[in-house]
Structure 1
């Protein structure tokens, strides 16, 4: 593990960020998941703890980072508004954050984005621009930034974004300790590395002995490729049902943060994600989007033997899925 850069979040800074966010974000629930139907699938002798970020404002962890960034803007920047790129959750969080802080949002989304998420953006007051793919989306957002003077808020890159997402890890460790539990491992899904880097940093600062595992879909494996290469890498196309985890490339700051604090990156298939969605629905009564189930897919899949006998924390990162899509995912391969 590399030595942390001074630019990485510190524990006092993470605590201050959480205080500043205040009640604009929820301190989401943590609970141990107990269910006889799930027990045979879990690592032998383990206990599973869920950090339920799907109950966050806007249905995912994303407002933590977006608000942290937008709260740093000057009054003049707030007046000009913000822009960003997203398949859904970041766009929704930008719309929410801009409204909360008296600004406006113009978000760029691929045409393949779920109509449910597009509708959530417009309901929160954002202007939505649809483009063909995520690569074009970044180009369009940069043009909006240049032509309209809006501040570009990256979906996962940068120190302020990581500072915001680190509050998830801070809460998770403090909440499980309040239950008399020391987590041995935390598992969290990556959609570019902003969440995983922030969570990993906070967890390691508070509980250095805990292992931190990052999970990616096989069809959007930018962090896995980057770890293998030792430098930030990209992919030509996102090929997964977990579109919230569909980052086209890894960026320098989030990659460095993950490289400093993450123990390993594992991959899961779309079939494994669908199976984990069913497990969460059956055992936790949670309706998750595919991204929200990816971490559990890794716990009952590639990490199962490695997590035997441990207290395992899983971040359920989001639940923005429409009813028809959710039912379709659960029905497949039944």
Structure 2
């Protein structure tokens, strides 16, 4: 059985990944890895998406969780396992713990999404709400592991977990011939480390590239300092990657096998979610879309014309957040515009405005009057309009038509805050 102590001597090997592949085969989905033609055109390379968001609990975390549970001794299985997580690792352990008859305790920060707390409970896990953030929840989990003899399973820096995640690399090599590169999201580093070990062992010529959010860049900090260090986190759309310190074991494997690491901003992540939904009909969370974000954002020009795999590693996005992202994507493409219009405060003024918009083939999504604020001309009224258009050129045609009809407009731009609130991820 693999030693569970986090120590350099317990670095997983390629054989551990091969063994994990056989061990977990009957409990996880062998997910598809198809070319995405629309994304290929946008990125100027042949893009294949490895659809790990289609696992039962919506993420790749099931592979590592199941492998780690299966290698426990019989006594350890009876006592149960514990983890600190606010998201996908917790769901994966809860699901596979129930399937394997292993009691699972999950320590979640008190502000963890209620829907995920409830899902873990429905899957049979004991959920403890403890601490303001994941580091405090981890302390509680460590205490329980010592006091009750539970097996603590780290979500990204356990050798069995890394080996389990590495099975994705084995599948990718079998599914995509003539592979040139794999672009992988990075949080704690377990997925990148496992895939890099698997692929570089068999196909060392394949490029392995990590991608992390600018607002949660613990791997960047570790590479600069030469070792994992705690780094500040800010709230990010890719909350599943907001890990304050990259894993020690994962970092060693990344340093050995990964070619380079890039960072992406929040808008790039949001547009990646949007493009996936529109172009491939895949609903993917921020963390799962971060790898593709680097390609869409033009950060990897060396991959032009190459065959590139991007793991879509999670699909557990809040519906409200998905709606916001879709609107942002429409605004970015010029397909949704909001503007102030100044019309005469008389019968027919509003009708003239909407008629001009309709004549241009655009659709009014929302409209509001404002007689009290923003205007001191008592012969006019300010109207705020949100209008759907075909594209940026069509948007401009609508605004020009309004101007020709004597209706002054002022387009409202997105407001980007100078600072963002701090946040500690899962």
Within-5 A mapping of 1:92-107: 92-107=91-106
Is 1:31 the equivalent of 2:27? Answer: no
Alignment deviations for residues 300-327 of structure 1 (CA, whole Å, 9 cap, x no partner):
1253312111111101001012322221
Q: Give the superposition deviation at 1:143.
A: 1.4
Tell me whether 1:119 sits opposite 2:118 in the alignment.
yes
Match of 1:175 in 2: 175
- Aligned 8 A contact 1:212 1:261 in 2: yes
Distance across 2 between alignment mates of 1:172 and 1:227: 27
Paired residue secondary structure (2:243): coil
In structure 1, runs of 5+ residues without a counterpart are: none
Partner residue, 2:69:
70
The Cα offsets for residues 188-247 of structure 1, whole Å up to 9 and x where unpaired, read as 101200111001111111211010000111111111111122111222334312111111
Equivalent-residue separation in structure 2 for 1:112 and 1:313 (angstroms): 34
Please list the CA deviations of residues 229-271 of structure 1 after superposition, one character each: whole Å capped at 9, or x if unmatched. Answer: 2111222334312111111212221110111111111111111
Q: 1:244 and 1:161 mapped to 2: Cα distance? A: 16
| C-alpha separation in 2, matches of 1:76 and 1:291 | 35
Measure the CA separation in 2 of the matches of 1:278 and 1:61. 21
- Report the equivalent of 1:19: 22
Per-residue deviation, 1:119: 2.2
Q: For residue 8 of structure 1, report the CA deviation from its aligned partner.
A: 4.3
For residue 200 of structure 1, what is the aligned residue in structure 2? 196
Q: Whole-Å Cα distance in 1 between the matches of residues 311 and 40 of structure 2? A: 18
The count of aligned residue pairs is: 322
C-alpha distance in structure 2 between counterparts of 1:156 and 1:50, whole Å: 22
Pair 1:55-2:58 in alignment: no
1-side partners of 2:18 and 2:77: how far apart? 25
Partners in 1 of 2:315 and 2:273 — Cα distance?
A: 10
CA contact (8 A) 1:217 1:267 kept: yes
Tell me the TM-score normalized by structure 1.
0.92
State the alpha-carbon separation in 2 of the partners of residues 16 and 162 from structure 1. 12
Partner of 2:215: 219
Identify which of 286, 291, 308 aligns with 1:290: 286
Q: Confirm or deny that 1:232 pairs with 2:228.
A: yes
User: Runs of 5+ in structure 2 lacking a partner?
Assistant: 1-7, 332-426
Q: Aligned to 1:57, what secondary structure does the other structure show?
A: coil
Aligned-residue Cα RMSD (Å) equals 1.7
Residues 10 and 145 (structure 1), Cα distance of their counterparts in 2 relative to 1, 3 Å cut: closer
The secondary structure found in structure 1 opposite 2:209 is strand
Contact 2:187 2:246 in 1 (8 A): no
Structure-2 change in CA distance of 1:243 and 1:262 (3 Å): same
Q: Which has the higher contact order (CA 8 A, sep 6+)?
A: 1
Secondary structure at 1:23 match in 2: coil
Quick one: distance in 1 between partners of 2:110 and 2:239? 12
Deviations for 1:277-301, whole angstroms, at most 9, x for unmatched residues? Answer: 0000011100011111101101112
Structure 2 length as normaliser, TM-score?
A: 0.73
Match of residue 300 from structure 1: 296
Q: Deviations over 1:21-79 (max 9, x none)?
A: 122011111100012xx45531x3x1001100001131100011111111111122111
Q: Deviations over 1:104-150 (max 9, x none)?
A: 11111223322222222111111222231112111111112122221
